Amino acid sequence: MDTTTTDTITLVTGGNKGIGHETARRLKEAGHTVLIGARDPARGRAAARGLGVGLVALDVTDQASVDEAAAQVRAEHGRLDVLVNNAAVNSVLAPLERTGAQDVATLLDTNLLGVLRVTNAFLPLLRRSAHARVVNVSSTVGSFALTLEHGMFDWEVVPPVYAVSKTALTMLTLKYSRELPGILVNAADPGYTETDLNDRQGTQTVTEGSDAIVHLATLGDDGPTGTFVNRDGAVAW
Write out the catalytic residue numbers: 162, 166
What's the CA gap between 58 and 210, in Å, rounded?
A: 21
Q: DSSP characters for the chain?
A: --TTTS--EEEEETTTSHHHHHHHHHHHHTT-EEEEEESSHHHHHHHHHHHT-EEEE--TT-HHHHHHHHHHHHHHHS--SEEEE--------S-GGG--HHHHHHHHHHHTHHHHHHHHHHHHHHTT-SS-EEEEE--GGG-HHHHHHHT---TTTS-HHHHHHHHHHHHHHHHHHHH-TTSEEEEE---SB-SGGGTT--SB-HHHHHHHHHHHHT--TT--SS-EEETTEE---
